[in-house]
Amino acid sequence: MKKNSPQKINRLCLMISVILSCSLFVPAGAKGQSLTKSPNAVIDQSGRRIAVDKPYKRIISLYGAHTENLFSLGLDKEIIGVTRHETYPARALTKPVFSYHDDPEKFLAARPDLVLVRPMIDRGYPQFVTRLEKSGIAVVSLQPATVSEMYAYWKILGVLTGRQTQASDMVSHFQNISSNLNAATSSLAVKKRVYFESIHSKMKTFSPDSMAIFALETAGGINVASDAKPVRNTNIAGYGKERILSRAKQIDIYLAQSGAMNRPTVAMIKHESGFSAIKAVHDDQIFIIDEQIVSRPTLRLLEGIYEIGKILYPDVFDTNRAKFLRVQPGFN
């Protein structure tokens, strides 16, 4: 049997970490020890056990996806701080701004009972995290890498905030709409073959089980880089120009995400040395898509699926966005 690495186990920890009146288990490679019988607790991706005796009411979010999902759960006044990089929803831009670069005293003065971070902050700024914890503030580190982990992540946020019903509704809504989007192309005899770029300068794509590839395949695209291997158990996968060009004639669409790690332009891709051999480049089928709707674990991943669908099959995914997404009241 194939053994999981500690990093993979920590990711799998996210899948089992919503604990409601059952045994609590900390996998090997995570911090802490095996625990049993906690009425309401979660384990985060650092192996940290967080008891939830009552919903957290004063929350600082240090990751845009956390912020967006908290709003989707119907929270607002409970969110007392966010990062300076927030873009959605608009209400998030009105919140006080915090950063892990700030003096921890700024956090203490705001009196949060919960600070939501992601593993990068946990690993890179342990003194900051320890200072908050020693002051009695719960710190929870989460960042799902796959869609199945995203569902568990939403449920964890639901447990932390007392919004379990809303979290389950988010999962059901996502599953229903993504199934409908996928059904729109299920009868197509010929499907578009796509190379999906994550970081242009490093010629990287996405791991096959990433949210971005889920979005692509749900929209009816075929991932030409399905043999890509993830880098350090992330959703990013190395590929390289040589392998891209080896599939040059297969690539009907060249799709690139644009975000903090990748700011490509159509011209940049078109004039990349050797890329003139790529079918999509020759046919002017190069497209850029916002990373926030294809790589973030939020309900807006549905928008990403729809937008990719419009790129691949404009005759199928028409401009009637509401028909496909059926956005429900209460979901941002």
Q: Decide if 9 is inside a domain.
A: yes
Q: Decide if 320 is inside a domain.
A: yes
Q: Find out whether the peptide bond into 126 is cis, omega within 30 degrees of 0.
A: no
Write down the pTM of the prediction. Answer: 0.88
Dihedral, 67, 70, 71, 75 alpha carbons, nearest 10: -130
Residue 107: which residues within 8 A CB-CB, separation 6 or more? 60, 81, 98, 115, 132, 137
**Domain of residue 310, CATH code:** 3.40.50.1980
Q: Decide if 133 is inside a domain.
A: no
**Whether the predicted pLDDT of 50 surpasses 60:** yes
Q: Return the amino acid letter for 69.
A: N
**Whether the predicted pLDDT of 270 surpasses 70:** yes
pLDDT at 30: 37
Q: Decide if 116 is inside a domain.
A: no
Q: What pLDDT, in 10s, does the model give residues 157-200?
A: 999 999 999 999 999 999 999 999 999 999 999 999 999 999 99
CA distance 199 to 238: 9
CA distance 229 to 209: 10
**Whether the predicted pLDDT of 146 surpasses 70:** yes
Q: Which helix (H) or strand (E) holds 9?
A: helix 6-16
CA distance 21 to 182: 36
Name the β-bridge partners of 138: 114
pLDDT at 26: 33
* Owning domain of residue 17: 1-46
CA distance 95 to 67: 10
Q: Decide if 33 is inside a domain.
A: yes
CA distance 171 to 143: 16
Contact 112, 80 (CB under 8 A): yes
Distance, CA of 78 to chain centre: 22
Dihedral, 70, 71, 75, 78 alpha carbons, nearest 10: 70
CA distance 135 to 114: 11
Cα distances from 72 to residues 81, 119, 127, 138, 330, in angstroms, run 16, 22, 31, 22, 7
Q: Decide if 179 is inside a domain.
A: no
Domain count within the chain: 2
**Whether the predicted pLDDT of 4 surpasses 80:** no
Structure tokens at 122: 């946990």
Q: In this structure, how many other beta carbons lie within 10 angstroms of the beta carbon of residue 156?
A: 24
- For the chain, the average pLDDT equals 88
Instruction: Say which DSSP state 100 is in.
Output: T
CA distance 224 to 219: 15
* Lowest mean per-residue pLDDT among 161-165, 206-210, 229-233: 229-233
Mean pLDDT of 308-328: 82
Sheet containing strand 114-117, strands side by side? 79-81, 59-61, 114-117, 138-141
Q: Where are the beta strands (DSSP E) in the chain?
A: 18-22, 38-43, 49-51, 59-61, 79-81, 114-117, 138-141, 193-197, 204-206, 222-223, 229-230, 236-238, 253-258, 286-290
CA distance 211 to 236: 11
Q: Decide if 178 is inside a domain.
A: no
Contact 41, 23 (CB under 8 A): no
pLDDT at 11: 52
Q: Decide if 298 is inside a domain.
A: yes
pLDDT category, 2, cuts 50, 70, 90?
very low
- Domain boundary (46, 66, 81) is at 46
pLDDT at 40: 82
